[in-house]
Structures are given as structure tokens and as C-alpha cells.
Amino acid sequence: MMDLMASESRHLSLSIDRRLDEVYSYLSNPANLPEWAPGLCRSVAQVDGQWVAESPMGRIVLAFAPRNDFGVLDHEVTVASGETFYNPLRVIADGHGCEVVFTVRRLAGMGDQDFARDLEAVSADLTRLKGILERA
């Protein structure tokens, strides 16, 4: 992972009216990414034991936290240049439903407009996720 210091983080969250185990199961399957996070990738497949995706940034490699009982879905995205970006993602029980929390990190040198674009993209992905899971 690159040693880039985040100068700011924003936690985006929303409630989903589905049980934590259902949401975690869906999110922990990288094959679902193109459906709920099309800004990250258009397609994803396992290649030689790694999750490889085609994205607007080109070919990326995704590495996820091992399955766990704590709702942790942190993942790293490695872009073609070899830079790796760490993305904290959590599912937290909330009554009969759950809350999904994605931490968007502003990297050193990232401008306000780029950070705002990242925030908007993640917010749209979370809204899409909620729609998919609450329809099911």
C-alpha cells in the first residue's frame, strides 16, 4: 500500500432496511460491484486468485478484508501505475436493519473539486446499493 497520508476523511453512511448478514453477504462478493458501484468498475472477474476489474481508470486489482463477524469490508484498489488506495467500508447493525459506512479519504494534494467528485460518486453508489438491497 502506498504511504500517502490522508489529509481529511468524510464518513458517508446510510441505513438499509435489510439485516446485517444479508447486506454483508452482498457487499462481500466482489462480483456484485458492477451493479452497485459502476463508477468503480464495469466488470470484475477472478484471475489467478485476484479480483481484477475494468474501470474508468483502466485495469484495477481489488483486495478485500477476509470474511469476518464484525462487518468490516475494507478493501484496497491497485491501479495500473501500481498505486494502491485503501478504502474503509463497514456494515453496522442498526435494529432490524443496518447502516453502511464508507470512509472517503482526501489524499494529500487532492483539490476540493476532485474530493467533492469522490464524495458525490460514493454517495450515488451507496444510494444505488440501498435501492438494490431494499428491492430484493
pLDDT tens-digit readout, 50-95: 999 999 889 999 999 999 999 999 999 999 999 999 999 999 999 9
Which grid cell sits at 85? 488506495
1 assigned to some structural domain: no
pLDDT of residue 5: 52
Burial of 1 (0-12, 13-18, 19+ CB in 10 A): exposed
CA atoms within 13 A on the CB side of 43: 6
26 assigned to some structural domain: yes
56 assigned to some structural domain: yes
Residue 2 confidence (pLDDT) above 70:
no
Inter-helix orientation angle 20-27/112-135, to 10°: 120
Domain housing 22: 6-135
Looking at residue 65, which CATH number applies to its domain? 3.30.530.20
68 assigned to some structural domain: yes
102 assigned to some structural domain: yes
Q: pTM to 2 decimals?
A: 0.89
38 assigned to some structural domain: yes
Own/partner contacts of 116-120, CB < 8 Å, gap of 24 or more, are 119/10, 119/12
Domain count, the chain: 1
The C-alpha atoms of residue 37 and residue 120 are separated, in whole angstroms, by 12
pLDDT tens-digit readout, 94-128: 999 999 999 999 987 889 999 999 999 999 999 99
